[in-house]
């Protein structure tokens, strides 16, 4: 939708000025770092996707971790599909970014999913202290005392 509806020479500032829709193509990683190693990013993305899908996902027994894994898989797959199928060619494709946050970077929905997954992983690991299996690392957490009902595995 971004490619079909946004003109890279005419960014659209949304009301409030916090977000501008600005179509760009990024050959690198965050903040355009590593623009010359797109093939490496593609390979690492494939490995990350496999690691989450094959190793982590089968171990998930907690709704919060399931959400985090789903967000991470969707984010990796979104950026990976750009790397595999967009110009200039397979394993070298540019990621389509289009959401510019004021005073920050231009990102896409996949980036937002990956960042959200990271925040949720930190929350589950350090604050809720619950593992992939839904078991807490302290007796109170293991009994479910610190988990909101909707996140209790």
97 is known as an active-site residue: yes
Q: What does the domain layout of the chain look like in residue ranges?
A: 2-151
Catalytic residue among 7, 111, 146, 152: 111
Residue 48 Cα to chain centre, angstroms: 11
pTM: 0.84
Task: Give tens-digit pLDDT for 74-126.
Answer: 999 999 999 999 999 999 999 999 999 999 999 999 999 999 999 999 999 99
Task: Give tens-digit pLDDT for 120-143.
Answer: 999 999 999 999 998 987 555 445
Check residue 130 and report its DSSP letter.
B
Tokens encoding 98:
């289009």
Task: Choose among 140, 123, 22: nearest CA to 68.
Answer: 123
Check residue 148 and report its DSSP letter.
-
Catalytic residue among 7, 82, 97, 146: 97
Work out whether strand 19-26 and strand 95-101 pair parallel, antiparallel, or are unpaired: antiparallel
Task: Give tens-digit pLDDT for 12-59.
Answer: 999 999 999 999 999 988 877 888 899 999 999 999 999 999 999 999
pLDDT score of 141: 47
Residue with tokens 């089968």: 58
Burial class (CB in 10 A: 0-12, 13-18, 19+), 16: exposed
């Amino acid at each position: 939708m971004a490619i079909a509806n946004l003109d890279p020479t005419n960014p659209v500032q949304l009301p409030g000025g916090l977000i501008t829709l600005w179509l760009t193509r990024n050959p690198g990683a965050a903040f355009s770092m590593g623009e010359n190693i797109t093939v490496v990013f593609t390979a690492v993305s494939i490995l990350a996707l496999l690691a989450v899908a094959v190793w982590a996902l089968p171990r998930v027994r907690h709704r919060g971790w399931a959400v985090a894994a789903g967000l991470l898989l969707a984010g990796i797959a979104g950026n990976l599909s750009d790397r595999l199928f967009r110009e200039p060619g397979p394993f070298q494709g540019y990621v389509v970014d289009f959401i510019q946050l004021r005073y920050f970077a231009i990102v896409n929905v996949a980036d937002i999913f990956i960042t959200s997954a990271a925040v949720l992983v930190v929350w589950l690991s350090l604050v809720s202290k619950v593992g992939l299996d839904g078991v807490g690392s302290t007796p109170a957490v293991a009994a479910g005392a610190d988990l909101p009902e909707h996140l209790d595995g």
